[in-house]
Structure 1
Amino acid sequence: MPKAIRVQEYGGPEVMAYAEVPRAEPGPGQIRVRQGAIGVNFIDIYFRTGAYKAAQLPFTPGKEGAGEVTAVGEGVTGFKVGDRVAYGSGEGTYAEEPLIAAAAAVQVPEGIDDATAAAMMLKGLTAEYLLHRTFPVKAGDTILFHAAAGGVGLIACQWAKHLGATVIGTVGSPEKAELARAHGCDHVILYRDEDFAARVREITDGKGVPVVYDGVGKATFPASLDCLSPLGTFVSFGSASGPIEAFDIGILAQKGSLYATRPTLFTHASQRPVLDRMAENLFGVVRSGAVRIPVHARYRLAEAPQVHRDLAGRQTTGSTVMIP
């Protein structure tokens, strides 16, 4: 019988148990995948703790992975047994052979291995919608990206640089600063040691930036708004340090008629033609070498509790994958 991580109740990393599960047959619109690699993301922690609620308990966490199709459910077109696929908005991917909604999966082209595909889907597609759909970055723009050495950050900084932007990134340590510089960051700010809003003003000669991309949340708000030029856009796409608390919308007027948005990958990826275009765009920049996917840690699936401890403790950079 295949193995999977099962969560019986919400809580700390210790609630994740490595257990045998029945091999399930795909239902209508589903495929079964023998996974070669499993992606790990902060959203998995939100579900494990109950900050986001699973459909039911017990459940298997995980959104991301890559592998080979082993069975196809009724009504599925576009996939057959033996196809290599990857997904960033699947369900229950902390498993050897999960069932995945065919609508969430994309074909993996030649030249991209399972670990790279599993490491790039959620984070890479997030970078895609941030840079191309939420605030389309163009040559000559100067942008601020928080947590520039994180999983999304390292991909987004390279991609923004490729698009011709000047990239300012914030990081938490000198080691992470080096990593960010190596992945396209022109200016790196140690946000624990420096007033990042003041540094951004300094770097931009007082003008500010047209966009701030923030996956950190509580620790970087509202100072992020002080980095923006008039009519600038604040993009909140995650809350690694805790959620941003409710605020008076009038602050957006006071700080320069700002825009604020809270997009998600799942909204964008819910439309098949859009998901296909996003994946094509992502695979294109990776295959060309313009964006490298940094897989900095590999664990066994059975080590999922330690993976979550490391991720929550800010011990990770780039992408982490688990191998079944």
Structure 2
Amino acid sequence: MTEQIVWLNAPGDITQFHVEDHRCEPPGDGEIRIRHEAIGTNFLDVYHRKGLYPMPSYPSVIGAEAAGMVDDVGPGVSMFKRGDRVAYAGPPIGAYRAMRNIAAERAIKLPDTVSAKTAAGSLLKGMTAYMLLKKIYNVRAGTRVLIHAAAGGLGSILVRWARSLDATVIGTVGSPEKAALAASYGADHLIVGRGADIVAEVKRLTNGRGVDVAYDGIGGDTLLKSIRSVRPFGMAVTIGQAAGAIPPVPVEELRPGKALCHPSIMAWCADVDQYREAALVAVQAMETGIVSQIGAEYRLADVAKAHEEMESGRSTGSILLIP
């Protein structure tokens, strides 16, 4: 039996991808083989492709989440059977393929109410949102939250989840069209336009106080704006660099008592118990409608086009690869 697989030859641009047919190996002890129905993409994949987070060796397969059906079960596995609908996210990397053998403990059964496409586009982002909103900073009723890229894949889940906790959400978006989307997700206030004075607007919206916590996946010079938007003894959380590397931030910017946190969902998920806790909570959230909308779908062979769209900043929601 063969499958289609996407190899990354070396760190670099989209020309480093090549697609070929590959022989499927039977699942090993404690493993299941999943026939992917949908593969989720994340900006994490771009970091892996470019080598910001290098792979152990090359050629390699990237991709951190997917969903589909159990195609075969290896020795010692009793919790799954052929035909079960499952999803997974986090390490080990390697989802850009039509079929995959993976440790059974990394797979999560999907309820009938959650489609494979929804799970593939929302599981890792949902787990990240859970980590950010409940583990890194305990967001609850009355918490004032700043969420950048509020119409994006992770941003949309953060907005929906924070509002479900009765937090007040201030979102930033790049266009009126994205503002309409973020408003539909429940954002209380929106700062629109790449040239907007984020700090001044946040201070205006919070009567000069600032937000309790800011979630920044933009990077570049936006992180300093996020720190300045946080109240004294609040927290800024940096979770990505979509706009490029982050310049050095003077420690004086953290006065008086602001916290700066740089968490990793992949590090969090390396612990199986933490992973399963976050994954199960994320699936439960999907059942209530806390999901990332599907912004685009590409054939697995068109992975380069998917990465181009992801990096363009045009997309809203999640981009899927379909084997």
The two structures have a TM-score, normalised by structure 2, of 0.94
Moved more, 278-287 or 124-133: 278-287
1:83-127 deviation per Cα after TM superposition (whole angstroms, max 9, x unaligned):
221112142111001222334321112211110110111111111
Gaps of 5+ in 2: none
Q: Which residue of 2 aligns with 1:37?
A: 38
Taking only the aligned residue pairs, the percentage that are identical comes to 38
Structure 1 contact 2–21 (Cα < 8 Å) conserved: yes
SS at match of 1:298: strand
Residue 264 of structure 1 corresponds to: 264
Deviations 1:259-289 (A, max 9, x none): 1111111222223333232223222222133
Aligned counterpart, 1:192: 194
Q: Is the 8 A contact 1:149 1:171 kept in 2?
A: yes
The residue type paired with residue 56 of structure 2 is A
CA distance in 1, matches of 2:42, 2:17: 15
Corresponding letter in the other structure for 1:258 = K
1:181-213 per-position Cα deviation (integer Å, ceiling 9, x unaligned):
111111111241310010000000001011001
Residue 246 (structure 2) pairs with residue 247 (structure 1): no
In the alignment, what sits opposite 2:305?
A: 306
Aligned to 2:131: 129
Q: TM-score, normalised by structure 1?
A: 0.94
The yes-or-no answer on 1:236 pairing with 2:238 is: yes
The alpha carbon displacement at 1:46 in A equals 1.1
What is the SS of the residue equivalent to 2:191? strand
CA contact (8 A) 2:11 2:54 kept: no
In the alignment, is the contact (CA less than 8 A) between 1:91 and 1:100 conserved in 2? no
CA–CA separation in structure 2 for the residues paired with 1:73 and 1:297: 34
Following superposition, the deviation at residue 238 of structure 1 comes to 1.1
Q: Match of 1:95? A: 97
- In the alignment, the residues of structure 2 paired with residue 202 and residue 110 of structure 1 have an alpha-carbon distance, to the nearest angstrom, of 45
In the alignment, the residues of structure 2 paired with residue 281 and residue 231 of structure 1 have an alpha-carbon distance, to the nearest angstrom, of 29
Q: Which of 107, 116, 119 matches 1:117? A: 119
Secondary structure of 1:136's match? Answer: coil
Is the partner of 1:2 in helix, strand or coil? strand
Residue 170 (structure 2) pairs with residue 171 (structure 1) = no
Tell me the secondary structure at the aligned position of residue 23 of structure 2. Answer: coil
Cα gap change, 1:27/1:245 in structure 2, threshold over 3 Å: closer, same or farther? farther
The residue aligned with 1:278 is 278
Structural RMSD (CA) = 1.6
C-alpha distance in 2, partners of 1:204/1:227? 10
- Number of the residue aligned with 1:322: 321
Range 204-213 or range 16-25, more displaced = 16-25
Residue 74 of structure 1, CA deviation: 4.3
- Partners of 2:266 and 2:79 lie apart in 1 by 21
CA contact (8 A) 2:295 2:319 kept: yes
2:149 counterpart SS class = coil
Q: Could you tell me which residue of structure 1 aligns to residue 7 of structure 2? A: 6
